[in-house]
Structure 1
Amino acid sequence: MRIGELSRRTGVNAHQLRYYESQGLLEAERAGNGYREYDEDAVLRVQQIRHLLAAGLSSEDIAYLLPCAVGATPELVGCPELLTAMRSRLRRLEDQMDRLARSRAALNDYIAAAERTGAENYPPFDELAAVPA
């Protein structure tokens, strides 16, 4: 099938499908006229890619995981690449969550300090924005 049909069948635009191909996540043969030709398995592969992207995995992570993927959702069978990539991604997410929690706490501290120092005596930000510079 051509890229337009794969796009219609998966709901993924052609630009994204070409990106998946450039990342080594999806394979296409080239017809004599240069058009991409995908086999029937490409529909399942795109579904797998979309689910893994929705889980927050990078295209690099997904490249490692796809050989371990079974089914559309997909179910991932335990191959070494799978566990290593998923643990690495989990560590990155936990690091991001820690940074966000620290940022939230610092912002809450600044808000509390501003409220204690008489913020009611200052004009609202909307009024400050209306003043010409």
Structure 2
Amino acid sequence: MTMKIGDLARETGVSPRLLRYYEEQGLLVPLRTPSGHRRYGEDAPEVVAHIRALLTAGLSTHVIRDVLPCVEGPGPSFHQCTAGTLRTQLAGLDGRIAGLMGAREALAGLLASTGHRQS
């Protein structure tokens, strides 16, 4: 059984425009009818849920494209093949957080030099 883009949008709560973007990024692959209309397989809602979960975790669409083949189930569940990529992404996030904390401390120091207390 296949579904149209509008049906997939209703079922997942994701706009057709965003579904087309996922397709452009290579994250979601529809079938095409002879007239060129998109048709999505019955696993498409689960794939969209995986994409949304990975985006929420801060992963880029490029990284998601690499790890998506290693994701399954409604959880989602990740195979071991994603561990290295996820570890690298986590380390990058930790580095950005440390950089932001350093910038915050510097800014708080500048604010303190004005005689105002920070909140």
TM-score, normalized by length of structure 1?
A: 0.81
Q: Kindly state the Cα deviation for residue 98 of structure 1 after the two structures are TM-superposed.
A: 1.2
CA distance in 2, matches of 1:94, 1:16: 29
CA distance in 2, matches of 1:74, 1:7: 20
Higher relative contact order structure (alpha carbons within 8 Å, sequence separation ≥ 6): 2
Q: Kindly state the Cα deviation for residue 20 of structure 1 after the two structures are TM-superposed.
A: 0.8
Q: Kindly state the Cα deviation for residue 31 of structure 1 after the two structures are TM-superposed.
A: 0.9
Q: Which amino acid aligns with 1:54?
A: T
Three-state SS of the structure 2 residue aligned to 1:114 is coil
Q: Which amino acid aligns with 2:23?
A: E
Q: Kindly state the Cα deviation for residue 72 of structure 1 after the two structures are TM-superposed.
A: 2.1
CA distance in 2, matches of 1:84, 1:59: 17
CA distance in 2, matches of 1:67, 1:2: 23
- Name the residue aligned to 2:40: 38
Q: After superposition, where does 1:11-50 map in structure 2 within 5 Å?
A: 11-50=13-52
- Matched residue count: 114
In 2, are the aligned partners of 1:47 and 1:73 still within 8 Å (CA)? Answer: no
In 2, are the aligned partners of 1:51 and 1:73 still within 8 Å (CA)? Answer: no
Q: Kindly state the Cα deviation for residue 46 of structure 1 after the two structures are TM-superposed.
A: 0.5
TM-score, normalized by length of structure 2?
A: 0.90
Aligned-pair identity in percent equals 42
**Which consecutive residues of structure 1, in runs of 5 or more, have no partner in the other structure?**
117-133
Q: Kindly state the Cα deviation for residue 24 of structure 1 after the two structures are TM-superposed.
A: 1.0
- Name the residue aligned to 1:64: 66
Q: After superposition, where does 1:1-133 map in structure 2 within 5 Å?
A: 1-79=3-81, 82-115=82-115
- Structure having the higher helix fraction is 1
Aligned-pair RMSD on alpha carbons?
Answer: 1.2
Q: Kindly state the Cα deviation for residue 51 of structure 1 after the two structures are TM-superposed.
A: 0.8
- Shift >4 Å, 4+ stretches: none
CA distance in 1, matches of 2:7, 2:100: 42
- Name the residue aligned to 1:123: none
**Which consecutive residues of structure 2, in runs of 5 or more, have no partner in the other structure?**
none
